[in-house]
Amino acid sequence: MKRLLVAVIGVAVALAFSLPALAQDAAKGEQVFAAQNCKMCHAIKGVGNKAHPLDGVGAKLKADQIKEWITTPKVAAEKAKSTAKPPMKAYDKLSKADLDALVAYIESLK
């Protein structure tokens, strides 16, 4: 019982320290989203192109799937059997930090 309590406390502490980092990544990702002009094709909370809203996508896709949509959208579209037009362009030149932050931001859209 004591081990279980120690494990639970350990997980709670780890989460407490990781949540601010995730929030920072999401905030940075929101900046990347704006800098890449993603709202030209996508909307969040009604802002941007309403044809392709991203609200709720974080509850539907895992981080690796979001990353695939960003870096290799043709592959992701084939897997999803998406026929959206125009097809999304690949954002494969983003730095790892910017890509990770953008994924964290999109993943936060639950």
Q: Which amino acid is located at 80 in the chain? A: A
Our measurement of the distance from residue 7's CA atom to the centroid of its chain's CA atoms, rounded to an integer in Å, reads 29
Residue found by looking up tokens 């999304």 in the block: 88
pLDDT of residue 18: 43
| CA-closest candidate to residue 44, choices 28, 33, 35, 59 | 33
Neighbours of 8 (CB within 10 A): 10
Check pLDDT > 90 for residue 104. Answer: yes
Q: In which band, very low, low, confident or very high, does the pLDDT at 22 lie, cut at 50, 70 and 90?
A: low
Q: Please report the domains of the chain, with CATH numbers, ordered by start residue.
A: 2-107 (1.10.760.10)
| 44-99: pLDDT as tens digits | 999 999 999 999 999 999 999 999 999 999 999 999 999 988 889 999 999 999 99
